[in-house]
């Protein structure tokens, strides 16, 4: 027989009821809720489709960024790219706010007062999406008395709504359903400063916290990156427009670095790009995978799920690559290519000086490769693909000549470019031709590996 909620409860009675509530309830009574394996499968399906959608959207934004920041995109291109990043930034900030809010309320709920409550209704709601995923929500209405006043609440956990992170919703429903059938009181926790606010389970769910924080960090990073890239592209486009107006018949003068006849090493851009990709990948993969694997393997011995550890392993590889790129930037970031021919002439020569600045005391020879590549992009959306074809390539080995100090060297670059080669052309981002000089050398620690996009045109361009 259910007890009156207004009846006083001694600490001993309260403790006994709590123990009975925990002891009498089995996690999954027959027919009451789906199995843990089923809930985990639903979680995997949801994560897969979420990651697929996130990849598709991110790819579209990156491709849009490439288009909009191209030479002819103008100032509006950078502005639009920055605007594209705002939804990412907004969602990231929202997710991080939810994370902070969850932690704050969890700490606050530790001070809430234990109070017996009667369950009025309990159910497990299931929500299905078009992709086959299922989420669950344990819903419960209960009443309680606090300081002589009667209240009613329907708050079950600190975070409301449905989800399929583990089997928390199913286990919670099973506990509440069993308590209702047995006529047992349950314990709710009441905010003494605002008694209308109560919750049945005040424990922090690490899976929920990790998911909000993971996606918050990933999307916020993406948004900041896109906004900054848009601002940078807007400034670069303004400079390009100015150079284009000053040199309408000399396309090699439209690039600021080419116009100055000095091309800096792009080590910083590569390092930043790798760090963004690393944060994206690890933020999603580690959050999703460890929520599943940790519980399934350690508690239920579902060892087949260890296959998903491949994603964090890839993340470790990306992290190593990002660290190496950062070291390379600090080691060779002050290097540059000084142009002697502006531009390189088809049927003539491309000449310059490779100025290496950094820890190069052990440098003896450098392999320099000049490559002409055509990039053709076809299709749109998820059917979009880019094919790169090498039109011409040659490699020369150059002896290192020290200049000034052991941390600086100047290497002469001289390539003969054959007649009939294709000139540099980025007027169409879906069909462009790039000339690239790549320099490599084996050194202690991080090797030398620098690339420079160089201008090569016809004599009469």
- What are the residue ranges spanned by the domains of the chain? 11-46+111-201, 335-461
pLDDT reported for residue 281: 79
Res 258 pLDDT > 70: yes
**Does 15 have pLDDT greater than 50?**
no
Fold entry, domain 335-461: Immunoglobulin-like (2.60.40)
Whole-number pLDDT of residue 133:
76
What pLDDT is stored for residue 30 in this prediction? 35
Q: Percentage of the chain surpassing pLDDT 90?
A: 34
Judged against a pLDDT cut of 80, whether residue 79 lies above it is answered with no
Of the given ranges (21-25, 221-225, 260-264), which has the lowest mean pLDDT? 21-25
Range scoring the smallest mean pLDDT among 14-18, 46-50, 330-334: 14-18
For residue 382, is pLDDT > 70?
A: no
pLDDT bracket for residue 130 (50, 70, 90): confident
pLDDT surpasses 50 at 3: no
Q: Of 4-18, 222-236, 412-426, which range is least confident? A: 4-18
Give the whole-angstrom CA distance, residue 378 versus residue 389: 14
Can you give the pLDDT at residue 21? 44
The average confidence (pLDDT) of the chain is: 79
Least confident of 59-63, 149-153, 264-268, 433-437: 59-63
pLDDT given at position 10? 38
Task: Write the burial class of residue 285 (CB in 10 Å: 0-12 exposed, 13-18 middle, 19+ buried).
Answer: buried
Q: What is the pTM of this model?
A: 0.58
Sequence-ordered list of residues with C-beta below 8 angstroms from that of 206, at least 6 positions apart, any chain: 291
Bigger pLDDT: 426 vs 66: 426
Token pair for 447: 């090797």
Q: Which residues are bridge partners to 137 per DSSP?
A: 125
Say how far apart CA 374 and CA 389 lie, in whole Å: 5
What's the pLDDT at 375?
Answer: 92
* Predicted confidence band of residue 291 (pLDDT cuts 50, 70, 90): low
Place 341 in a pLDDT band, splitting at 50, 70 and 90. very high
The pLDDT assigned to 56 comes to 52
Work out the average pLDDT over 225-249: 79
Q: What is the mean pLDDT of residues 427-438?
A: 90
Please tell me the predicted confidence (pLDDT) of residue 31.
38
DSSP reduced 3-state for 193: coil
Q: How confident is the model at residue 152 (pLDDT cuts 50, 70, 90)?
A: very high
pLDDT band at 14 (very low <50, low <70, confident <90, very high): very low
User: Does 405 have pLDDT greater than 70?
Assistant: no
Residue, of 193 and 276, whose pLDDT is higher: 193
């Amino acid at each position: 027989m259910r007890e009156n909620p207004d009846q006083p409860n001694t600490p001993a009675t309260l403790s006994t009821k709590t123990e009975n509530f925990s002891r009498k309830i089995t996690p999954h009574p027959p027919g009451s809720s789906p199995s843990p394996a089923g809930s985990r499968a639903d979680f995997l399906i949801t994560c897969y489709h979420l990651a697929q959608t996130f990849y598709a959207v991110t790819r579209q934004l990156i491709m849009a960024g490439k288009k909009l920041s191209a030479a002819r995109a103008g100032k509006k291109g950078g502005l639009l790219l920055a605007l594209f990043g705002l939804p990412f930034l907004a969602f990231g900030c929202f997710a991080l706010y939810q994370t902070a809010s969850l932690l704050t309320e969890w700490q606050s709920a530790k001070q809430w007062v234990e109070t017996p409550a009667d369950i009025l209704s309990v159910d497990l709601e299931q929500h299905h999406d078009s992709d086959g995923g299922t989420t669950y929500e344990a819903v419960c209405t209960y009443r309680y008395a606090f300081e002589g006043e009667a209240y009613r609440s329907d708050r079950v956990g600190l975070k409301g709504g449905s989800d399929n992170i583990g089997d928390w919703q199913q286990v919670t429903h099973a506990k509440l359903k069993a308590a209702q059938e047995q006529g047992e009181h349950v314990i709710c926790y009441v905010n003494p400063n605002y008694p209308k606010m109560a919750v049945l389970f005040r424990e922090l769910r690490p899976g929920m916290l990790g998911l909000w924080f993971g996606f918050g960090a990933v999307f916020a990073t993406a948004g900041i990156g896109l906004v900054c890239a848009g601002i940078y592209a807007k400034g670069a486009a303004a400079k390009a427009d100015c150079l284009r107006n000053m040199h309408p018949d000399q396309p090699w003068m439209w690039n600021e670095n080419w116009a100055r006849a000095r091309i800096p090493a792009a080590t910083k851009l590569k390092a930043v790009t790798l760090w963004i990709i690393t944060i994206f990948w690890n933020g999603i993969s580690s959050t999703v995978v460890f929520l599943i694997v940790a519980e399934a393997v350690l508690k239920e011995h579902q060892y087949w799920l260890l296959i998903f550890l491949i994603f964090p392993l890839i993340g470790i590889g990306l992290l190593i690559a990002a660290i190496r790129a950062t070291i390379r930037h600090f080691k060779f970031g002050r290097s540059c290519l000084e142009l002697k021919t502006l531009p390189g002439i088809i049927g003539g020569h491309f000449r310059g000086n490779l100025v290496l600045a950094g820890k190069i005391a052990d440098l003896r020879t450098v392999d320099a490769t000049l490559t002409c590549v055509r990039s053709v992009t076809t299709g749109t959306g998820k059917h979009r693909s880019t094919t790169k074809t090498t039109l011409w390539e040659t490699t020369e080995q150059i002896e290192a000549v020290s200049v000034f100090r052991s941390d600086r060297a100047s290497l002469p670059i001289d390539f003969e470019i054959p007649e009939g080669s294709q000139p540099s052309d980025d007027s169409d981002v879906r069909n462009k031709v790039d000339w690239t000089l790549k320099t490599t050398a084996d050194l202690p620690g991080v090797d030398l590996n620098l690339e420079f996009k160089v201008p090569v045109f016809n004599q009469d361009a």
